[in-house]
Amino acid sequence: MHRRGFTLIELLVVIAIIAILIGLLLPAVQKVREAAARSKCTNNLKQIALAAFSYESSNGVLPPGYLGQKPVAQIHASSDEMWTAGANAHWIGVLPFLLPHLEQGAIYSQLQFNWDVNGDGPVWTSNATNWTMAMVRVSTFLCPSDDPYAPANVGSRMGTLATASNNGTISLRGYANTGTPAGLGRTNYVGVAGAFGKIGSSFDSREGVFTNRSKTSITAITDGTSNTLMFGETLGGHPTDGTRAYGFSWMGIGMNVTNWGMATTDMSWRNFNSKHTNLSNFALGDGSVRSIRYGVDRVAFVYFSGIRDGVVVDTSNF
């Protein structure tokens, strides 16, 4: 009795067919995973926006973008002077204010801040308890498509300022991502400050929802809540060579600016960007979430981020 088995050629054919099927299925699986990640990212932004509305309902205004230097609108000669002028500033961002509205009251209750928007206080990194709480990883602040813990440095605080030479800029302070700073909890989501926030320059006509010590009410968004960006995604920089610049601390990085637009290449920490393909997600002032592709018109993007610049942007190409 003869037993028939696979010949070598038949076996190779079967292996080739399996390899082809895997090759066909893998992109589909990756697309499904990215779709799921984008859905989760969209939901995170929705929850953050709803938390901001809840804060506004309780306090009459939206939370501040960050508690930075005083006076708020002041011309500074350099970024170094900015940090010196803000020696009595907490430099905490918008997200800590939202914690009790995101079911994170256990973290919020242990933070030792003067929560008064007009109040003084030492920088948050100087307080051991605040530092410990800043280590907590809050899943709502993280886009599942990214690993914000990978970059070599971690940004701890950021603010905008006006200068005599260029009328507006932004400054970032951070740590090397080694030792204790490596454990700081990160975020992919920050508030939208408009062109440069509120800095005492001509750019103030394009200020956004979240600026230094801002007290923006929903009714103050006169361009229309559905026409104004409120929160957006950031990677902390994603240059063309793929080397990440910063991971952003959720405790201290409260906002980012729109002046540099949605860059297509060599994206800086000053840009809104994401690991999604060719786009980033944003929450608008009405709580809706939409995607904006890279390379859209920079001026239109800036106007889309302002709360009362008087320009209604055609976003059909966004």
pLDDT per position as a tens digit, 249-261: 999 999 999 999 9
pLDDT at position 101 is 97
In a domain, 71, yes or no: yes
Cβ 278 vs Cβ 216: under 8 Å: no
pLDDT at position 99 is 98
Residue 75 pLDDT grade (very low, low, confident, very high; cuts 50, 70, 90): confident
pLDDT at 6 over 70: no
Strand partners, 158: 172
pLDDT at position 57 is 96
In a domain, 154, yes or no: yes
Joined tokens for residue 248: 């952003």
pLDDT at position 24 is 67
CA 150 to chain centre: 16
Provide mean pLDDT across the span 302-316: 93
Q: What is the pLDDT of residues 133-147, one digit of tens each?
A: 999 999 999 999 999
Cβ 160 vs Cβ 257: under 8 Å: yes
pLDDT at position 27 is 60
In a domain, 314, yes or no: no
Residue burial 30-50, b: 16+ Cβ < 10 Å; e: rest = eeeeeeebbeebbebbbbbbe
Cβ 53 vs Cβ 230: under 8 Å: no
What number of residues does the chain have?
Answer: 318
The residue type of 159 is G
pLDDT at position 242 is 65
In a domain, 61, yes or no: yes
pLDDT at 5 over 90: no
pLDDT at 288 over 60: yes
Joined tokens for residue 82: 């900015």
Joined tokens for residue 241: 């060579």
| DSSP secondary structure letter of residue 224 | -
Q: What domain count does the chain have?
A: 1
In a domain, 312, yes or no: no
In a domain, 313, yes or no: no
Q: What is the pLDDT of residues 42-69, one digit of tens each?
A: 999 999 999 999 999 999 999 999 999 9
pLDDT at 173 over 60: yes
Residue with tokens 């201290």: 252
Q: Taking phi first (over 0 means left), then psi (-120 to 50 degrees means alpha), and beta for anything else, what does residue 61 get?
A: beta
Q: What is the pLDDT of residues 211-237, one digit of tens each?
A: 999 999 999 999 999 999 999 999 988
Q: Which domain holds residue 174?
A: 8-305
In a domain, 124, yes or no: yes
In a domain, 257, yes or no: yes
